Amino acid sequence: MKATIIIKTIVLMTLVVDEISRAYAKHREGKYKGTHWWGIAKAGEPNNLAPMTPGLMLMDTTSLTLLRNKQRRMIREHPGVLQAISRGVNMALQECQHQFRNRRWNCSTKNFLTGKNLFGKIVDRGFRETAFIYAITSAGVTHAVSRACAEGVIETCTCDTTHQRRGPYIQNSVPGVKDWEWGGCSDNIDFGYKFARMFVDTGERGRSLREKMNLHNNEAGRMLFLCNIFTAIIPCP
């Protein structure tokens, strides 16, 4: 439920990035091909691959060919993170399709593994839909990786014990059994944010105006996710 609220909040950001998107739409420097890492959502689809460990989902690693060398290295260095990234992209994709369900462009995905970007030609131009795509996928990966750490999915990170929930004990009705108290295992927001920034921003050097706007929208998605987590610390728009 909380994940849905976080992702849906990004809809409010569209009005802000819209004006910026129009600016670089008028300042086009040739067609922009978009990013290919979105196709990693395909890795989490049902497949006939048999995992070595019963009960675990084996990720379809053929989608790794869409990634840059740095992104593939990050996945190798953090076993389990591929599943989290795939979950984050799919979560963002579902919300995108929901938000644009009554529009002419409804966030369709026809180019999963054809060597093109996941969302098609719309990302070739600087439309507000393009800004939304960059922001919501960045936020989705940040959230999914943060949650995966707490769930023990990623081998190189654990839950965050620094943000413990405050509140009364839960009274136990069984005599002799200690009342339950929150142990402090929260989503690892710090790891999720840093990993998402390094992974998602790879390839966007910020040299052209379009690349600068992509980086801006990526960060906007991550920051809006943080705003929903630390509302008392980070001023939100």
Q: What is the pLDDT at residue 32?
A: 52
Residue 12 has pLDDT above 70, yes or no: no
| Structure-token pair, residue 114 | 């054809």
* Most confident region among 158-162, 202-206, 227-231 by mean pLDDT: 202-206
| Banded model confidence at residue 55, pLDDT cuts 50, 70, 90 | very low
Spatial CB neighbours of 157, under 8 Å, sequence gap ≥ 6: 78, 149, 188, 191
Average confidence (pLDDT) over 162-191: 60
pLDDT digits (tens, 9 = 90+) for 92-137: 999 999 999 999 888 888 655 554 568 878 888 888 899 999 999 9
pLDDT value of residue 5: 45
7: left (phi over 0), alpha (psi -120 to 50) or beta: alpha
CA gap 106, 99 in Å, rounded: 8
pTM attached to this predicted model = 0.76
Task: Return the percent helix, strand and coil in the chain, to nearest 5.
Answer: 55, 0, 45
Q: How far is C-alpha 186 from the geometric centre of its chain's CA atoms?
A: 18
The string of pLDDT tens digits covering residues 139-164 is: 999 999 999 999 999 999 998 777 55
